[in-house]
Chain A
Amino acid sequence: MRVNFTVNGRQQEADDVWEGESLLYVLRERLGLPGSKNACEQGECGSCTVRLDGVPVCSCLVAAGQVEGREVVTVEGLADFAKQRAEGGGCASGACGTTLQNAQQWQAGGTDSQTGEGTELSAIQQAFIDAGAVQCGFCTPGLLVAADEMLERNPTPTDADIREALSGNLCRCTGYEKIMDAVRLAAARQSEAV
Chain B
Amino acid sequence: MASPSGTPTKITQGSQTKGGIGESTLRPDGTLKVTGEFAYSSDMWHEDMLWGQILRSTVAHAEIVSIDTGEALAMPGVYAVLTYDDLPTAVKNYGLEIQDTPVLAHGKVRHHGEPVALVAADHPETARRAAAKIKVDYRELPVITDEASATAPDAILIHENRDDHHAGHVPHPNIVHRQPIIRGDVAAARERADVIVTGEYTFGMQDQAFLGPESGLAVPEEDGGVHLYIATQWLHSDLRQMAPVLGLPEDKVRMTLSGVGGAFGGREDLSMQIHACLLALRTGKPVKIVYNRFESFFGHVHRHPAKLYYEHGATKDGKLTHMKCRIVLDGGAYASASPAVVGNASSLSVGPYVVEDVDIEAIALYTNNPPCGAMRGFGAVQACFAYEAQMDKLAAKLGMDPVEFRRLNAMEQGTLLPTGQPVDSPAPVAELLRRVKAMPMPPERQWESSEGADVRQLPGGLSNTTHGEGVVRGVGYAVGIKNVGFSEGFDDYSTAKVRMEVVAGEPVATVHTAMAEVGQGGVTVHAQIARTELGVTQVTIHPADTQVGSAGSTSASRQTYVTGGAVKNSCELVREKVLEIGRRKFGSYHPAWATAELLLEGGKVVTDGGEVLSDLVDVLEDETVEVEAEWRHRPTEPFDLRTGQGNGHVQYSFAAHRAVVEVDTELGLVKVIELACAQDVGKALNPLSVLGQIQGGTTQGLGVAVMEEIVVDPKTAKVKNPSFTDYLIPTILDTPTIPVDVLELADDHAPYGLRGIGEAPTLSSTPAVLAAIRNATGLELNRTPVRPEHLTGTQLSEG
Binding site for B on A (CB under 8 A): 18, 20-21, 28-29, 32-42, 44-45, 47, 74-76, 78-79, 106, 109-119, 121, 125-126, 128-130, 132, 134-141, 144, 160, 162-164, 166-180
Contacts and interface: CB of A to CB of B under 8 A. Distances in A.
A186 to B, nearest CB: 11
A175 B292 CA distance: 23
B31 A129 contact: yes
Interface stretch (B12-20, B131-139, B604-612, B618-626): B12-20
Could you say which interface size class chain B belongs to? 35 or more
Given A29-B45, A135-B696, A176-B699, 6 more contacts: A37-B211, A42-B725, A45-B293, A172-B210, A172-B262, A176-B730
A99 to B, nearest CB: 18
B769 to A, nearest CB: 14
28 contacts: A28-B43, A29-B45, A34-B36, A34-B42, A35-B36, A36-B36, A42-B725, A74-B36, A110-B39, A113-B9, A116-B32, A117-B15, A121-B35, A125-B35, A132-B691, A136-B260, A136-B262, A138-B261, A138-B262, A160-B454, A163-B733, A171-B732, A172-B209, A172-B696, A172-B700, A173-B692, A173-B696, A174-B692
Given A136-B260, A176-B732, A115 B10 contact: no
Contacts of A33: 36
Given A40-B293, A170-B724, A106 B35 contact: yes
B559 interface: no
A42 B729 CA distance: 15
Contact of B31 (A41, A78, A116): A116
The interface residues of chain A, by DSSP majority, are classed as loop
B264 interface: yes
Interface in B196-230: 208-213
Contact of A45 (B34, B37, B40, B211): B211
A131 to B, nearest CB: 8
Given A75-B35, A175-B735, A136 B42 contact: no
Interface in B497-541: 518-521
Contact of B16 (A106, A117, A167, A173): A117
B737 interface: yes
A129 to B, nearest CB: 4
A172 B211 contact: yes
Interface string B710-723: 00000000000001
Nearest to B208: A172
A177 B729 contact: no
Nearest to B288: A29
Contact of B290 (A38, A163, A166, A169): A38
Interface of B: 5-6, 9-13, 15-17, 24, 26-40, 42-43, 45, 123, 125, 208-213, 259-264, 290, 292-294, 454, 456-457, 462, 518-521, 688-689, 691-692, 695-700, 723-725, 729-733, 735, 737-738
A39 B261 contact: yes
B32 A135 contact: no
Nearest to A125: B34
A136 B34 contact: no
Contacts of A32: 5, 45
A135 B519 contact: yes
A160 B723 contact: no
Contacts of B33: 134, 137, 140
A189 to B, nearest CB: 15
B695 A175 contact: yes
A116 B31 CA distance: 6
A139 B696 CA distance: 14
A132 B329 CA distance: 36
A129 B26 contact: yes
Given A130-B26, A172-B262, A115 B13 contact: yes
A76 B37 contact: yes
Nearest to B733: A167
A162 B5 CA distance: 36
Contacts of A114: 11-12
B27 A134 contact: yes
A105 to B, nearest CB: 11
Contacts of A141: 34, 36
A31 to B, nearest CB: 11
Given A110-B37, A172-B262, A117 B24 contact: no
